[in-house]
Structure 1
Amino acid sequence: MTSAPPNPPSSQLLNPAQTAERLPYPKLLEELVSLLQDRDVQVPPRLVLPLAGGGSLFVMPALDARTAITKLITFTPANTGSSRATIQGDVVVFDVPSGERRLVLDGPTITARRTAAVSVLAAQRLAPCKQGPVLIVGAGVQGKSHLEAFAEGMGITEFFIASRSAASAERLVAHAQALGLKARVATDANAALAECPMAVTCTPASAVVLSALPRPDGFIAAVGAFTPEMVELSASLCQYMAEHGTVVVDTTDAGHEAGDLLQAGLEVARFASLADVVRSPAFEIKGPVLFKSCGWAGWDLAAARTALQEQAQAF
């Protein structure tokens, strides 16, 4: 007599490696699309509290008809370049009908993977040219996750890596090569932009890192700046994209968070969101594309839904 499979535990605390295992990029990409089409999703504005020393505490809830989450993380820019992570915290996942806690996921892992997946989804839907090489500006956690996501989600095999730290750039190049990908250091990100149909900026956003104009078929995903004071793209580049290309933001919340666009004097509310793109089969793309990502608890909810599905399949 075959015994019945064990019931899933009521709650699991997952470490970074276990959290990553529950978030395979193909399934996470599918869930992002599903979430943007789910009218039951509710995402209130996130609460950002300043901390002494220049850090911030983020409280980010979101829910749908079956799952509710709260992401609780700290962002500590002073940790950049040290052994301590700049983002630390957790995502707590609840079952709505029962009220039970189901998962506690590693916050930095969720942030890295869902952010990269959102950039890939935007590239899949918006990039005029979906071939490599991809320029990645910033060789930290987000640089690594974007390299892996573009390789797995779009089949990109060639990357240029630019970083203010030569050692960090070399490490990411070595990681790419260990995955069987082609990669090399780009000492001048602006010059490399001419060779790369797609580019991602994922730096600490303390200064402009891209100012050159993209190729006519170019796509730029700007990830690093998620407050009005942060910036990665020059004002002239953003203004050019608004006038001659297509600008899309990840969510309407970017209206008060998209530092790159706000510092360029652009009215962010005029731009379409990724939800508009996904829900419109005939979304019009003109010229090169700028996708401005600021982060949203809905992306964390999509990651939690993915993790729950993976958990259910494991039992």
Structure 2
Amino acid sequence: MSSILTTVLTAADTARALPYPALARQIEAMLRDPAVVVPARIVQALPGGGSLFVMPAADAHVAITKLITFTPDNARRGLPSIQGDIVVFDVTTGSRIAILDGPTVTARRTAAVSLLAAQKLAPRTDGPLLIVGAGVQGRAHLEAFHAGLGLLEVWVASRNPASADALVRHAQTLGLRARRVDDADAALADCPLVVSTTPAQHVALRAMPRCDAFVAAVGAFTPAMVEWDAAICRRLAAEGTLVVDTRDADHEAGDLLQAGIDVSALPTLADVVLNKQTWVACPKADRQGPVFFKSCGWGGWDLAAARCVTDISP
């Protein structure tokens, strides 16, 4: 392990240590590692509507605890909605070996999970990519899909046109063709790749994705949050293929739970990676509809980031 791991990594240090393609590979390796243990996370409600998340995880080499706060109203305060750190320990000695920037890890590992899901599940990866929500996660997913899929074109929709324009300019600096769209529902008809990264305080998408689309829905990560219309979610369940990131989604996937879908019956990303019976038996062969990947977050993704930083392989 590098000596840099005895120091606190800044946001920039953390980002440099987590290139998206390498992080996606480490996430897949982590899903294949039987030594990984991830207890249920603790979500403590805070006065004023915020939440404290405590997320431990470990494998044979490293143990982590993620400590972050999520404060939805922070945008109006000019503060990030997610703040905190990830503490990494050496399993053998118990020594603290790194402190990673929590918001940076959260953004990058979430986008890398979506990237891995797209690599495994997307019928088409040539784009255009429609990003709905132009905040931190919108930018992370743009960068991840560009780095991992060779994406060439992106469309951006946001309730804040200035934010959408800023993300479009960032995409152009990466060499992408990019433009703002003001009607996300209409844009779905032209985009085989879709990522929804809104604050998920209300329904943002009310149209059906195209039949060859891959959708990564990441904004809603509690039962009360929602991005996608319930009727569309039910159509996706009937006509397409639904996959969740982990079994934690059974009680956290607000979009699907509010639509009355039995989330516990859906395959997970691990089922897909490991080709488990849950995935093999999924009645997808006779479906021509979209693939809808619902991501809610998991301490295992943060463990994968720690493994990436510490160059740990199973």
TM-score (norm 1): 0.94
- The one of 223, 228, 236 equivalent to 1:228 is 223
Question: CA 1:9–1:197 in structure 2 vs 1: closer, same or farther (change >3 Å)?
Answer: closer
Instruction: Provide structure 1 residue ranges, at least 5 long, that are not aligned to the other structure.
Output: 1-5
Aligned amino acid, residue 273 of structure 1: T
1:292 aligns with 2:294: yes
CA distance in 2, matches of 1:130, 1:7: 36
| 1:304 alignment partner in structure 2 | 306
Given that 2:5 and 2:310 are in contact with CA atoms closer than 8 Å, whether structure 1 keeps it comes out as: no
Give the CA deviation at 1:82: 4.0
Instruction: Provide structure 2 residue ranges, at least 5 long, that are not aligned to the other structure.
Output: none
CA distance in 1, matches of 2:2, 2:215: 45
RMSD of Structure 2 on Structure 1 (CA): 1.6
Counterpart secondary structure, 2:203: strand
Aligned amino acid, residue 300 of structure 1: D
How do 1:108-119 and structure 2 match up within 5 A?
108-119=103-114
Aligned amino acid, residue 46 of structure 1: R
What is the percent sequence identity of the aligned residues?
59
| 2:205 alignment partner in structure 1 | 210
Give the CA deviation at 1:80: 2.3
Given that 1:62 and 1:298 are in contact with CA atoms closer than 8 Å, whether structure 2 keeps it comes out as: yes
Out of 9-18 and 122-131, give the one that drifted further: 9-18
| 2:44 alignment partner in structure 1 | 49
Given that 1:62 and 1:301 are in contact with CA atoms closer than 8 Å, whether structure 2 keeps it comes out as: yes
| 1:152 alignment partner in structure 2 | 147
Give the CA deviation at 1:41: 0.5
> What is the CA deviation profile of residues 233-276 of structure 1, one whole-angstrom value per residue up to 9, with x for unaligned ones?
00011101111110000000100000000000011001000000
1:89 aligns with 2:53: no
> What is the CA deviation profile of residues 7-39 of structure 1, one whole-angstrom value per residue up to 9, with x for unaligned ones?
725621011000000001121011011000001
How do 1:95-174 and structure 2 match up within 5 A?
95-174=90-169
CA distance in 2, matches of 1:181, 1:7: 35
| 1:180 alignment partner in structure 2 | 175
Stretches (4+) displaced over 6 A: none
CA distance in 2, matches of 1:81, 1:278: 40
> What is the CA deviation profile of residues 119-141 of structure 1, one whole-angstrom value per residue up to 9, with x for unaligned ones?
01111111111111000000000
| 2:67 alignment partner in structure 1 | 72
| 1:33 alignment partner in structure 2 | 28
CA distance in 2, matches of 1:143, 1:137: 7
Give the CA deviation at 1:81: 4.4
Counterpart secondary structure, 1:300: helix
Out of 264-273 and 81-90, give the one that drifted further: 81-90
Aligned length: 306
